[in-house]
Structure formats: C-alpha cells, structure tokens
Amino acid sequence: MAWLAMVPIMFSIESCSYRQSFMLGWSAGFVHFTSLLYWIYYVVNHYGKVPMPQGVITLLLLTSYLALFPGFSCVIYKLLNTRWFFPSSLALSVAWVAGEYARGHLLTGFPWDLVGYSQIPFHPVVQSMDLFGVLGISFLIAFCNGALYSLLKQKRSRMAVVEVLVFVVLFTLNYAYGIHRISEIDEVISRSRPVKVAVIQGNIPQDVKWDKEFQEGTVKRYNVLTEQALEEGHAKLVVWPETAVPFYFGIDIPMSLKVLNIAKNNGIYLIFGAPGLEYHDSKPFYYNWALLASPRGRITGVYAKEHLVPFGEYVPLKKLLFFVHKLAEGVGDFVAGDENQPLFEVDGKKIGALICYEVIFPELALNKCRRGANLLVNISNDAWFGDTSAPYQHLEMAQARAIETRLPLIRCTNTGISAFINVKGEIDGIIPLNRTGYMVKEMRIPHLQSTYVEARDAIAWICVIFPVLVILNALYDKIKKSSNKDV
C-alpha cells in the first residue's frame, strides 16, 4: 500500500492553492496518525487515569500536531513542482523526507512509524538502510508514488515514462544491493564467534507492577525464570526488561542485594532495568536506569535513559505547563542521562543500551555504534500498550536499528514482544505478546561496516536544504512584489 498510498493525495492537491494543499495534506495526515496511534488513548486512559473525553482530546491533539508534517510536505511538493519545476517523483520524495526528518527532530522528535518502516518484512528491500537509513526507504517509496502519479496523469508524457524508468532502475539497484549484502553478511556471520544470551520476559501486569506487596514476588519470578533459562543452556549474559526491578535500586538495600545475588549465585552478567534515585545537595534526582551486574555480584555499569518520554517521564516547559501533573497520574519527573555515558562491557564485548522508545531514534543507536558498541540491548516495558498494535510497531523499528548499525540487537520487554534480531534485521527468536517465558540463543556478533553510521542522515539533510531554499525564495518574491506595489 505504501508504494501508491500518496497518489490520491497528489491528485487531490493538483489544482489547489498552497493553503488548500496544506489543509488536504493535514487532513490525510490526521486520519493516518489517528488510526496509527489509537493506542495513545488506551495508555492515557487506562494507566494515566485520564477521563475518556480528555483522553480522546489528548490523542487528537497529538495527531493534529503530527499531521502538520504531511501538510508541510504537500506545500513543499507544490513549490518544488511548480516554482522550481522538479519532476513530481523528485519533488514528492524530497518534500516527504524533509517532513519525516522534521517530525523526528522538532520538539524532541517523534519519528514513530516513518513510511520506510512499512518495508521491514521485505528483507532485500531494506538492506540499504546501512547506506541511507530508514529515510532512504521513505525516499524510494515517495519517488514511486510521484512516478505513478505522473504516469496516471499524463500517460503519453515522455517525462512520466522517464520518471517510471528512473524508479525501476533505483528499485532494481536497491534490491540487488540487498541480495548481495545478505549473501555477504551470511558469510561473515558464519565465521563469527557466538555468545550465549538469555532473555527473560516476566509478563508482570502493569496494574500491579509498582505495588510494594508484589516487589518480592516480581524478583522471585525473574529469579525462577532465569534459573530455568540457565538449566536449558548456560548463558554468559542474561537480560531482564526495563524497570524489571520495581524499586529504587541501591536505596532499598535488602531487595537490591537479592538481585545482585542472582547474578553472583549463577555466575552470570545480568542487564536489568530499575528506577534510579540520587541525591545532590539534598535534592532528589530520578532516573530510568539500565544496570549491568557482574558474576561477582557487583554493579559494573549504569546507563541513565537519554531520551525521555515527554509528558510520561518528564514535562517539557514545566513552568508553562504546570497543570499537566493535575490532569494525569504518574507523569514522571526524571532526569535525562548524558549522551556519552560509558558502554557496558561483557568479556571484552561492548554493549550499547537503549531503553524503551529510545530505539525509535536512529541517532542514539548510531552514537553507541560510533563509540565502539558490538551489540545493542533494548529493554522496554510495553505493558503500557496492552493488546494493541504498538508492540509490533515498536519491534519493527528495533529491526531497522540492527540493519542501520549492522549490530545484533537483543530486545527484552516485560510483556512482549521480546526478540533476538540479527544484523540483517531478521528475527532469530521471539517471545510472543503477553507470554511469561525465557529464550536462550547463541548470538553471533560479526564485525561489519555500515556507511550510515558515519554518513548519518545525509540524504535527509540534502532534502531539507531544498525546502529551506524554496521557502526563502517564495518569501523573497512576496517581499519584492509588496515593495513594487508600494512604489
């Protein structure tokens, strides 16, 4: 569907003004994002205790904001196509990628389910993410839509035929690269040394997760599952989900020691999530931590979540939005970690941790890869999402990070979906949604290069330049006309 979904929008704005084009693009975006992110209502209503009317308003406000970007893309497309005479295919792909890039960065960014993620199930198509990232696939999809529009609008036009042929060439090259890269990677993987890893999915209901009466039972469940996993195959590394430890680690000493003893008694490295609390000048600072315990029962690594969830883990512009805490329960006041925190190290292998929705931000994974990570671990608590499509969407974005960095990725969640993801973005093992269980796997960690790690979003930066220039040009023309009228 993605390869032709934009064509109706292009026909609808064909003879419209810029303002009308924006409104049509915004309307299409509003419908798209509301259907895509419907689960936001479930989260704020069920767990934030926000009443139904306010919950619906919260969802609609978010989708109204996100819809601005497709609206913006439609205007840029029109400007590039009519003022600068870009072919429809090139104009749309530049405008669309610029819009998606802006969505991923403005106001802390929310690059959830960019159109390029739609191709994750088609492995040869997405291997070029190690060249251009997910936005490279978005570019190709938008180019296809623009070429189809040109062909349908002007069947006998030479330019339309050229646009279609250019797309065919681009797609063929992209697909051929994917086939070649998969074959090349398979050969490297076969020569790499495996590391045995266990992932534990506790499946603790969110409704009782933070109840003090269940704290000991929660740790006990993870202990039992860990021992069962180790009986199946002695893993060197065991991973628990985000906030698997439901208390301030290091503050509650007896409970903290129980967790450390699990690592010590089993002779394992243990990565687990826990809320953190530190005092500086008698002032409390709260963190969302991933911690690494060694086989000696000591903490050898602490990672504080860098990219916090706005209105979930902190309130942006707190002085201005002071009323948010009154509207919803459980709005946090966490402190973000530094982007250059030390990587975890297990037997000479460096591990980059990503907590929850940090995995949807390519630059966070790229930063860890550039700093020497051999493996990515994404711990999350997707219990918030319930039985919605969100955990599946979240998993697909994690798959993209493995391809972009060419690093294997271990995904461990509370209620699912936990998975082992190889460097091709393929799922080598999975624990389904809402299951209690564990998974033991020999993860191969090949040494591979990714152009995207160094080049980053170069294709997006190029695409952003044109909208900036075309907007400046339009403003200049408007000012010039206004000054001529005054004369």
278 tagged catalytic: no
Considering 100, 163, 242, 358, which one is annotated as catalytic?
242
Question: Could you tell me the two tokens for 467?
Answer: 């909208």
CB-neighbour burial class of residue 279 (10 A; exposed 0-12, middle 13-18, buried 19+): exposed
Q: How far is CA 262 from CA 45, 160, 204, 290, 450, in A?
A: 36, 65, 19, 16, 37
Considering 74, 78, 163, 305, which one is annotated as catalytic?
305
Cα angle: 354, vertex 422, 345; to 5 degrees: 45
305 tagged catalytic: yes
* Alpha carbon 379 to its chain's center: 13
404 tagged catalytic: no
Cα separation, 2 vs 118, in Å, equals 7
Considering 163, 209, 313, 356, which one is annotated as catalytic?
356
Cα separation, 247 vs 312, in Å, equals 18
Measured in degrees and rounded to the nearest 5, phi and psi for residue 37 equal: -110, 25
Instruction: Show which residues are catalytic.
Output: 242, 305, 356
